[in-house]
A and B are shown apart, each in its own frame.
Chain A
């Protein structure tokens, strides 16, 4: 039995009209979101993709040393390569001397074998005078390092376009001469310790801001609106002040003869100035100060939505004040706490200016290593690898957090 089609005012079947209206709404919604989506894609997703790419792609060496790349393709790695490889290396280095790219070759090999940079440059200079082969003996005569399998293993690794060296170096691992994965020597191994330190500092700051921020958020949520707003201004004005200004203010406060130390001396809590600046204490104090509003505001927003009638109901049923607070009020604030803590933790992982200004050398976080790699060593591969590892660690922690707390339970207000 067919049902007569329902028609709309302009004669179209209802279903068709509904579909058209729905589609028009969807297109309008997409167009409204499109600018933001493009902005995020260009300014956020694209740079991260480029960074991840730089962490594993390294085509420059094979471009500068094409003959060597080709000659080493079938090399077994067990013994020294044959004369053809030596000849290819010599030809490539001679070309590099003309193009002034020998220094780059040395720098790239130096990532694997510390100290080889100057030898490569010296070899390049001496090769300019060498006209013909056989190159094997002459190269080994120029520098015995060319007679070592480990050196050729490093060269072979460098010729790969896709490399794991940067990622491995960023967690203190490296390939040794025999092709095994070993820990980097102690005097150069800082990365693991710094990653642990970064996580530790971020965690401490998160916990301290939570302990300080929760009571303050509760106070702001409970007080009558006018008083609460006035107090909120005291929270927001520092929040809106520039990060650099606040960090510099801490610098002035925490100096050996700054206000804090003078107060401590005055109260006779210590007879000599305490080391507050350039120390972990200073770093965490300044970071807590900056991160407090980030933890506090989500908690406050969630608390504002909790109706006071729940606690009153609990009290009226006989619960004591503490019991009512912990069993009725507190669980309702957990989404805000989760949001605030996650926000603070992830922001703290990427801190750069504050540890650089008020922290000592042993308080430097991953960001300062990234800055060193770029500014001093010009090693974009390692900087990208550090960034990639930090990103991965953050994502892993996020998923663990999700398991424990549940992201759908997070609220920002």
Chain B
């Protein structure tokens, strides 16, 4: 009995000592947490930004992934415990989060690039545009020949029976629904701004609802296309480019009604590693590094100086190529910053019904 008591007492003290040592913070090596969207896109950023930056400055970079949830940044800043130092955000988040005051206002002096040289640099106060990407839809030429050519084909289950992959959210899906329903591109947001317009978009989505597989992460659509789970699916153009170039798939992008948009780097407010985060943003905005990223993924650089440094072979795959821009939509980031939350709620309710 006494032996048992003494052994258990020793064990308890051992456990207590162990837990105490584990709470001592790690060695004071400079460390930065960079958050992006995962998959091929984050890989390209790793090659072009994170790894070279780590080598150049000796900083340890911890990467994390997310799917664009502004609520995560909000929760972090509100709790006062900001662990994310540099976050790759989309335009809605860049505007909405800035209005809420949860992102640092960017001091362009620390970025080292002239604000006027960055496409879209004057629109965003709390984020630095990094790349121009586009939401498109693609199909596998091995399985569909001839394949879809316009956005109406996405909604035409008679002509192309089978499953489609769409992003689990209203963003771009509502615009495409209205375009396929016959709304001219110029009136798109005027219609979408009205309750009848939103109802109309959801009604159009209802026509294909049972044929849709909903994706959260960019890597899902190329996987679903490869598995044959869907015959066509929406995603960001760089993910398809990666599947074609690196994995040898025969996917074809349909550029009709492509929705070009920016991705930006932002710093959540209150991060203790502010200077280091700025150094990373400055590194990532440099023209040579931005041009380097196009080698790994077909997204256009936001730094206009970088365009001259891009490999000409890559130019045709960028969303900004003239051939691809013919029927491109103009995404209204302000609309989504304002109405995004309620449309998302409506979409989630619609989805669960």
Contact = CB atoms under 8 A, between A and B. Distances in A.
Interface residues of B, number: 31
Nearest to A256: B229
- Nearest 8 pairs of A and B residues by beta carbon: A100-B101, A378-B71, A118-B338, A103-B100, A190-B352, A361-B351, A190-B349, A188-B349
Interface of A: 99-104, 107, 110, 114-115, 117-118, 121, 187-190, 193-194, 255-257, 277-278, 361-362, 364, 369, 372, 374-378
Interface stretch (B42-50, B54-62, B308-316, B340-348): B340-348
A104 B338 contact: no
A103 B99 contact: yes
Interface in B194-235: 195, 199, 202, 213-214, 227-229
B72 interface: yes
Contacts of A256: 227-229
A372 B72 CA distance: 11
Contact of A194 (B99, B199, B344, B352): B352
B187 interface: no
A388 to B, nearest CB: 20
Contacts, number: 76
B138 interface: no
A375 B353 contact: no
Contacts of B75: 374, 378
A140 to B, nearest CB: 21
Given A100-B101, A375-B71, A378-B75, A190 B353 contact: yes
A121 B338 CA distance: 9
A110 B202 CA distance: 21
Contacts of A115: 195, 342
A188 B100 contact: no
B245 interface: no
A278 B96 contact: no
A141 to B, nearest CB: 20
Given A115-B342, A193-B353, 12 more contacts: A101-B101, A103-B96, A104-B100, A118-B338, A121-B338, A256-B227, A277-B229, A362-B353, A364-B352, A374-B75, A376-B344, A377-B71
Nearest to B169: A376
B339 interface: yes
B228 A257 contact: yes
Contact of A361 (B99, B100, B346, B352): B352
Contact of B74 (A102, A278, A378): A378
B339 A187 contact: no
Nearest to A184: B349
Contacts of B345: 114, 188, 377
A257 B226 CA distance: 11
A376 B350 contact: no
A160 B88 CA distance: 38
B135 to A, nearest CB: 19
Nearest to A257: B228
Which of A100, A103, A107, A255 has the most B CB atoms < 10 Å from its CB?
A103
B344 A361 contact: no
B148 to A, nearest CB: 20
Contact of A257 (B74, B227, B350): B227
B114 interface: no
Contacts of A377: 71, 341, 344-345
B120 to A, nearest CB: 21
Nearest to B75: A378
Contacts of A117: 338, 341-342
Nearest to B199: A187
Contacts of B70: 378
11 contacts: A99-B101, A103-B101, A114-B342, A187-B202, A188-B345, A189-B349, A256-B228, A362-B352, A364-B352, A375-B69, A375-B72
A376 B228 contact: no
Interface in B93-124: 96, 99-101
A110 B213 CA distance: 30
Nearest to A119: B338
Contacts of B100: 100, 103-104
Contacts of A374: 71, 75
Contacts of B227: 255-257
Contacts of B199: 187
B346 A188 contact: yes
A100 B78 CA distance: 12
B310 to A, nearest CB: 36
Which of A114, A188, A189, A193 has the most B CB atoms < 10 Å from its CB?
A188
Contacts of A362: 352-353
Contacts of A375: 69, 71-72
B251 to A, nearest CB: 18
B352 A369 contact: yes
Which of A110, A117, A118 has the most B CB atoms < 10 Å from its CB?
A118
Given A117-B342, A378-B74, A361 B349 contact: no
A194 B202 CA distance: 20
A278 B69 contact: no
A71 B345 CA distance: 32
B353 A376 contact: no
A189 B348 CA distance: 10
A103 B228 CA distance: 43
Given A188-B345, A361-B214, A361-B351, A118 B339 contact: yes
A107 B341 contact: yes
Contacts of B341: 107, 110, 117, 377
A103 to B, nearest CB: 4
Nearest to B96: A103
A121 to B, nearest CB: 6
A361 B341 CA distance: 19
A361 B166 CA distance: 12
Contacts of B99: 100, 102-103, 121
